[in-house]
Amino acid sequence: MWQVAGELGAMLVFAEHRYYGDSLPFGADSYSDSKHLNYLSSEQALADFAVLIRELKRSVPGAGHSAVIAVGGSYGGMLAAWLRMKYPSVVVGALSASAPIWQFPGMVPCGDFYRIVTRDFAAAGPNCDANIRRSWSAIDQIASTAEGLAWLSWTFGLCAPLKTRQDTVGFKQWLQETWVNLAMVDYPYEASFLQPLPPWPIQVVCKHLAFDPSVSPYLVLQGVSQAARVYYNHTGTSACLNTSSSATGSLGFLGWYYQACTEMVMPMCTDGVQDMFEPRPWDFQAFSDECQVLFGVRPRASWAETQYGGKDLAAHSNIVFSNGGLDPWSGGGVTCNISDSVVAIVIPEGAHHLDLRHDNERDPPSVRAARALEVAHFKAWVRQARQGGA
């Protein structure tokens, strides 16, 4: 984005979403209860951005007649697309990178996300996905005794030892999150988006999981422990692994979870056959009950489709949806052209919004081509706006 802004002579503005970072409308009370959280929504955020853009055009010298393009990745990519849809007079186009705008009830199969994660690991090394699939039962078997819990805690170098069978539930969730995050950030070079990681980190992980799946459960989990350290301790500076801290905690998890409990209902499920995880069906009622306990709210399952049109995008224009073939969120993304001006770019070797990152000598040709095509669309939108047709 920085490089493209320079090429186009553009001003790059990062607008902070309400309730995230320092943008707390009620200060320390912003997350105190559902009454204070009631103004946390994508609709409110989009309106904020529209107001901000008009104010910048009014107050920044020379910006009054400038075309504005919305750019974002992940949830930010969803917002970019929706900003163009809802406020076409404010932004002339949008680049929506790795944006799962169809990851809502009834739009895509709930298992696609975890099937893509599994596909990434299966392609990265022999037996890799099979050994992760086997690790869940291995954990249950070894954790059935106090000695086994102690062995697991020591083998994984956990900061807080596992003491009960219930502790292993959280432990397995932590491992599942690890494999998901690795799929999201499987970049071709060293990066520190979620954690400091080596180039193509899944390939490095899978070197520790290449053994025959028939080995003992202890050997399986020794390999898994080394694989987990690639993600949590690539630098070698961590004295122990903390299973209670999420790698994405700094990205506003609480705010996002509230949005999931109100408007961003994204069904996920696993079956243990087409994916490498323990079977877990999507249970909307259980999810709704959890939201009620946590926030005192119930999710509106179909609101995102009602508000943003679901898969009916043909009436819109000037939106580029880019998705990486390695990114599990691509399962809920737009990967085929909708029209001549609502187009999809697929980057086969791309993880989560790789195209928005700085150019790197290790970038695959597919992401270089994607960036060039995105810039071509930007230039066309600006020309169109200057001619009065955006």
Side-by-side strand order, sheet with 93-97? 69-73, 93-97, 319-324, 342-347
Annotation marks residue 22 as catalytic = no
Contact criterion met (CB below 8 Å) for 22 and 16: yes
Catalytic annotation, pick one of 112, 120, 275, 327: 327
Task: Say how far residue 374 (Cα) sits from the centre of its chain.
Answer: 21
**Burial of 331 per CB tally in 10 Å (0-12, 13-18, 19+):** buried
**All residues at 6 or more sequence positions from 377 whose CB lies less than 8 Å from its CB, including other chains:** 93, 95, 318, 320, 343
Task: Say how far residue 316 (Cα) sits from the centre of its chain.
Answer: 24
Catalytic annotation, pick one of 352, 353, 355, 366: 352
Distance CA 249, CA 13 (A): 24
Contact criterion met (CB below 8 Å) for 134 and 196: no
**Burial of 93 per CB tally in 10 Å (0-12, 13-18, 19+):** buried
Annotation marks residue 33 as catalytic = no
Q: Please state the length of the chain.
A: 390
149 three-class SS: helix
Annotation marks residue 352 as catalytic = yes
* Active site (catalytic) residues: 74, 327, 352
